[in-house]
Amino acid sequence: MHQKLVEFNKNLRAARTDLPLLQAGDVVKVRRKIKEGEKTRIQMFQGMVIAIKGGQSSSPMVTIRKVSSGIGVEIILPLLSSQIDSIELVKRTKARRGKLYFVRTKSAKTIGKKLKEVPFEIGHAGKEVQDIVKEVQAATKAETTEVKAEEAKAE
């Protein structure tokens, strides 16, 4: 039974490969699908990831916080929800804790001192290294065909 549950969780997580690997302290843009009556629109929410719960479950929960007009706003979403259209990693910061609940009581100036920005690796930016290698190969192949076409026109 335990093995079946593990396989089920892996299959669910493998279905959404477009999501980046998130950590506490990351600044992300979440595009959510909002249904109003018969119409569906996409709403963007940009904020800091302050907690990720249930990392091994079928759908981990992520808590994202932003300050809008001086008021703190938090959303809690399941990562593998159909409500999420996409998640884009904007900035990665180095946090020394797994859950950043202390951010709720601090000012933006203090948070900037505590959390320093670090460059994030390409593999964690939502694309796997193999995908990037394929894109580079396709771009170089396209460039070589353009050069050959120009040489043929010159002759």
Whether the Cβ atoms of residue 49 and residue 28 lie closer than 8 Å to each other: yes
pLDDT per residue as tens digits for the range 16-33: 667 778 888 888 999 999
Residues lower than pLDDT 50 in the chain = 122-126
pLDDT per residue as tens digits for the range 135-147: 666 777 776 777 6
Q: Is the overall model pTM greater than 0.75, yes or no?
A: no
Other Cβ atoms closer than 10 A to 60: 16
Alpha-carbon distances, residue 152 vs 140, 145, 146, 149 (angstroms): 18, 11, 10, 5
Q: Considering only CA atoms, which of 53, 120, 58, 46 is closest in space to residue 86? A: 46
Q: Considering only CA atoms, which of 61, 82, 89 is closest in space to residue 16? A: 82
Q: Where are the alpha helices (DSSP H) in 18-80?
A: none
Structure tokens at 62: 């992520």
